[in-house]
Structure 1
């Protein structure tokens, strides 16, 4: 399948993103950055950009596997961190995740999704513990494709101080990763949040990233309707309606918690 996504000037994108990262650090008054390394393409790309922006000595990586994390992902994260020259700590959170789940007392029993989402929220907590103690900013690895449809855990992997690739669709992230020297084996992996064994992003989303990115570009960037998006992309209208619903249902994830206004009473 082709694509309606326009060509991107990746050299200019790298310049903009690394400048953003550097400026964020200077503005914050912090001493560096910390991020979670999953062994996947997004975190590898973000780590590379951070190193380009501020140097390896100011970037710390945490590798936080669970019992469902493939061993090869841990190995890829550790090896690429060594290539980048950044310090890492590997912290297995399996027992913590299991322990937290045992605090659930209600019926029905804890769902697979609820159990899986414990892990990204634990990772966020651990990242901020290190960040607080070392005066670091937490860097998130969310891309535009995930952010727009809400494919992230609220107050989990969605919890960060900056999102360097938050305006890049997954299609662009793949090419950016190649330019930055991310190993091809990482780029070629099936994207997965690792919430349960065998879980993949595209299976859970019910659509490929190639299709998703075209739909999002048409709806978000071009402002097209569902019908116009189908005409332009040739993608089945039911898939487009599903994506449109995901955008609407996840709006709360992209907004701060709402409060009622009482200023008219003052």
Structure 2
């Protein structure tokens, strides 16, 4: 492994906080909505996003929904509740297993099939999206997404699940940036340093799913997107194997469909 420190510029956290806060405030005004609904997972991204929202929106106008499943750790639930209480925003705990089970019961499935395992994981994310939008519609509010730039670029989110939101306040920040901003916002250190996980199955972690550490992934993505470097240039710059960069590039290409509208065939009249 090469020395890839210093590749990603250090985020100006004060400026980023100010710009994101302004974005959230403007989004509310332009949409003519009455507040925000956000999913709280007890993780870094949702905690940081909630803190940013609480800086500019009346606490009574923010609803944090904690939506555990049987694979969600109690630690994550406790951290989500504590974050909501610390920021002063209203919160609800809504277990989603009772919502998921009827869907699985009426659909064919195989517990040992990896495709069905993935479908089940995606179903959790999509059910959470349904719950978020139910509350947002009922309260005339925006659904706030918690995805970061790293996840968006490689498609590490569920289409029409956690990708189904109205605004993405930290969508321009790499995971490394989010950690820095979280420290600036006084997010609990335990949350900042815990292994990122979507809680999709027992023991699941984001970095194991991705097959790469966020620290390195951010630098690969930064060089290829912000600097337009080719795969071989990126590998040389970071002193890592070309295969590792190529694999990230493949993830980026495979993720493109998640961030655009569904294709429509041209019709000649």
Partner of 2:165: 160
Partner of 2:129: 124
Partner of 2:72: 69
Do the aligned partners of 2:11 and 2:180 also contact (CA within 8 Å) in 1?
Answer: no
Query: CA RMSD for the aligned pairs?
Result: 1.3
Report SS of the residue matched to 1:102: helix
Cα distance, 1:95 vs structure 2: 2.4
How does the TM-score come out when normalised to structure 2? 0.95
Mean CA deviation greater in 98-107 or 192-201? 98-107
Q: 1:142 aligned to 2:147?
A: yes
Cα distance, 1:99 vs structure 2: 2.3
Cα distance, 1:238 vs structure 2: 1.0
Partner of 1:33: 36
Q: 1:209 aligned to 2:189?
A: no
Cα distance, 1:55 vs structure 2: 2.8
Aligned partners of 1:259 and 1:24: how far apart in 2?
28
Unaligned runs of 5+ in 2: none
Matches within 5 A, 1:96-135: 96-105=99-108, 111-135=116-140
Q: Which aligned runs of 4 or more in structure 1 are off by greater than 4 angstroms?
A: 106-110
Cα distance, 1:105 vs structure 2: 2.3
Report SS of the residue matched to 1:111: helix
How does the TM-score come out when normalised to structure 1? 0.96
Aligned partners of 1:235 and 1:152: how far apart in 2?
26
How many residue pairs match? The answer is 264
Q: 1:151 aligned to 2:159?
A: no
Unaligned runs of 5+ in 1: none
Report SS of the residue matched to 2:37: strand
